[in-house]
Amino acid sequence: AHQRDIRNFSIVAHIDHGKSTLADRILEMTDTVAKRDMQDQILDNMDLERERGITIKLNAVELTYDAKDGRTYEFHLIDTPGHVDFSYEVSRSLAACEGAVLVVDAAQGVEAQTLANVYLAIDDNLEILPVINKIDLPSAEPEKVRKEIEDVIGIDASDAVMASAKKGIGIEDLLEQIVNKVPAPDGDLEAPLRALIFDSIYDDYRGVVLSVRLFEGTVKPGDKIRLMNSGAEYEVTEVGVNSPKPIKRDQLIAGEVGYITASIKDIEDTRVGDTVTNAANPAEKALPGYREMAPMVYAGLYPTDNAKYQDLREALEKLKLNDAALEFEPETSQALGFGFRCGFLGMLHMDVVQERLEREFNLDLITTAPSVTYHANLADGTVKEVENPSEMPDVAAIKTIEEPYVKATIMTPNDYVGAVMELCQRKRGQFVTMEYLDDYRVNVIYKMPLSEIIFDFFDKLKSSTKGYASLDYELDGYRESDLVKIDILLNGDKVDALSFISHRQFAEKRGRDIAVKLKNIIPRQNFEIPIQAAIGAKIIARTTIKAYRKDVTARIHTGDPDRRAKLLEKQKRGKERMKSVGTVDIPQEAFMAVLQTD
Ligand code: GDP
Ligand code: MG
């Protein structure tokens, strides 16, 4: 195609406002996918995405559109996730585009991630096309939402597309706006190749498949390419586009989005954000790339079977190609053996990584309770970064402990301000300010410890506001807090993987709660197991798991066969994720028990 006929755009929105459904309609309208192959949320092609009904990965597809002006356009559409944990995927997609379609639910209006995502697009100087979706809903208030987009985001919404992705309304209007308003890419076709790697995936047959946006030059099979950051060189075996199945091309040109394969087997050579250039005619400077994401939470990942340590390492390396925000380094635990300390952007990210490792790489894993990074200011004047609670130095050696704080912005309807403030206060939040966005919507801003917000805050927020409040947060430095480490002893032995950090105020209660929880979670064995919680040498709680195992189903008096089957199933699954620590078998659930106390 000629550059003037290319349009590159992303779809961004708050979660559930209808991005993926809109992408479905666009694919249908442009006959990209045959009717018989069409299925809902077709770009969410991971099993995990389909089961959970959320988009986890960005996804780039090419489609052709016959516009009203009589020309045929080549569109590259990138669908993106809406959840805050995956905003790194969004920012990377946007760097490959000239335009962003901003989907806003006509009944829900602007929400926290609508703002966060649209600001990313504005920062990247993209043309923004607002779409007010779900106008078919009885509760839709499109005019109110139009005004909200103008007042709250500050962009012109007079031409906003009125759409129902579900019913297929407004799709053609949107496609025409993409043609007329999103600028065509430019970029010198004769210049040395500069292509931005915005994603990658490992394929057993083809090696690393690079998703790229070409900014200058061209690339074709047989070309020698160089990855500018690592300096590694390869011969291109194939170039093409996804539509959504891969389609080979003779070449890719500046302005296009597509893929490159070059039998890249050495995973370390590739990094998302790096620039691909031509080895014989290299560009002088790499493209700006991306800023590295700092993980928010850390947790240990261990194979249930110690012999699988190398497999886990390989799996993490391969997964990192497709999940640029994932970080890991080797870690040893007395209790769990060899594993990795992994950094994640949030709890959902952590959950998704564990599931992808288990499904895509056939591993059985134990994850330890997530923790933030603490700073321990030691008596000798040095500072120790503590990513793992068990590594917190001895109380005697510590002067003070600092923990990361966030600035949390909670957008909520008026009616729930009281409930939101109560929740924030309970989570050690400090009120900053409150801003009225319009007559009925408020931004409530708090500074809070990251550790309080990251675990179950979002669920609690949703349940105390009937699902109406939305949340966005950013790191806001470190502050001193009165924190203590709590150790758990089983059978008299400290289990390092069960140690956690708590505010002193909640320490005794949490110690007690966890001792009780563990008693219920850890299966009985043929000997008695004392459980203790301790701060330093001081025991703060004690329970005992009685000896002997009994049939778990014997306790169920209802003759409900369904329930009985479920329980057996649960027990079976629980068994798969079980780790022997000394003489005690500890199920996965036990490592997470610390998260379930209040
Ligand atoms: P995403 O999280 O932004 O990708 O949202 P999805 O496309 O997964 O849609 C979320 C939910 O809203 C799904 O249940 C869709 O069926 C529904 N939905 C999407 N668009 C419309 C629409 O125009 N009208 C109605 N009534 N429902 C819609
Ligand atoms: Mg989606």
> How far is it, in rounded angstroms, from Cα 319 to Cα 329?
14
Tell me the average pLDDT of the chain: 89
* Length reported for the chain: 598
Task: Tell me the two tokens of residue 412.
Answer: 């909520």
Average pLDDT over residues 189-202: 94
> What distance in angstroms lies between residue 321's CA and the mean position of ligand 1's atoms?
29
pLDDT band at 575 (very low <50, low <70, confident <90, very high): very low
Helix axes 171-181, 19-29, angle to 10 degrees: 90
Which burial class, exposed, middle or buried, applies to 459 when counting CB atoms under 10 A from its CB (0-12, 13-18, 19+)?
exposed
Tell me the per-residue pLDDT of 453-502, one tens digit each, with 9 for 90 and over. 887 788 889 888 887 888 888 889 999 999 999 999 999 999 999 999 99
CA angle 151, 154, 160 (to 5 degrees): 85
pLDDT for the residue numbered 62: 93
Greatest CA separation found in the chain? 81
> What distance in angstroms lies between residue 18's CA and the mean position of ligand 1's atoms?
4
In the DSSP assignment, the letter for residue 377 is E
> Which ligand is in closest contact with the Cα of 103?
1
Average pLDDT over residues 248-274: 93
pLDDT band at 574 (very low <50, low <70, confident <90, very high): very low
Tell me the per-residue pLDDT of 496-551, one tens digit each, with 9 for 90 and over. 999 999 999 889 998 999 999 899 888 888 889 999 999 989 999 999 998 875 55
Atom of ligand 1 nearest to the CA of 137: 26
CB of residue 491 inside a 6 A radius of ligand 1 = no
Q: Is the pLDDT of residue 573 over 70?
A: no
Nearest CA to ligand 1 atom 24: 134
CB of residue 114 inside a 6 A radius of ligand 1 = no
Q: 3-state DSSP call for residue 315?
A: helix
Tell me the per-residue pLDDT of 310-338, one tens digit each, with 9 for 90 and over. 999 999 999 999 898 899 999 999 888 99
| 20 annotated ligand-binding residue | yes
Give the list of residues 6+ apart from residue 101 with CB closer than 8 angstroms, or none.
Answer: 9, 10, 11, 12, 22, 129, 131, 174, 178
> What distance in angstroms lies between residue 479's CA and the mean position of ligand 1's atoms?
41
Q: 3-state DSSP call for residue 535?
A: strand
Give the list of residues 6+ apart from residue 126 with CB closer than 8 angstroms, or none.
Answer: 10, 94, 97, 98, 99, 100
> How far is it, in rounded angstroms, from Cα 164 to Cα 21?
9
pLDDT band at 115 (very low <50, low <70, confident <90, very high): confident
| 305 annotated ligand-binding residue | no
CB of residue 220 inside a 6 A radius of ligand 1 = no
pLDDT for the residue numbered 454: 81
pLDDT for the residue numbered 267: 84
Average pLDDT over residues 191-203: 94
> How far is it, in rounded angstroms, from Cα 488 to Cα 492?
9
> What distance in angstroms lies between residue 7's CA and the mean position of ligand 1's atoms?
24
Q: Is the pLDDT of residue 202 over 50?
A: yes
> Which ligand is in closest contact with the Cα of 101?
1
To test the pocket of ligand 1, the residue of 25, 57, 90, 166 to mutate (highest count of ligand atoms within 8 Å of its CB) is 166
> How far is it, in rounded angstroms, from Cα 528 to Cα 545?
6
> What distance in angstroms lies between residue 106's CA and the mean position of ligand 1's atoms?
11
pLDDT for the residue numbered 50: 81
Task: Tell me the two tokens of residue 130.
Answer: 């607002």
Task: Tell me the two tokens of residue 477.
Answer: 């430095």
Q: Which of 224, 222, 212 is nearest to 93 (CA)?
A: 212
Q: Are 207 and 321 in contact (CB under 8 A)?
A: no
pLDDT for the residue numbered 479: 97
> What distance in angstroms lies between residue 590's CA and the mean position of ligand 1's atoms?
36
Range from 4-8, 39-43, 454-458, 591-595 that averages highest in pLDDT: 4-8
CB of residue 166 inside a 6 A radius of ligand 1 = yes
Nearest CA to ligand 1 atom 25: 134
Q: What's the predicted TM-score (pTM) here?
A: 0.82
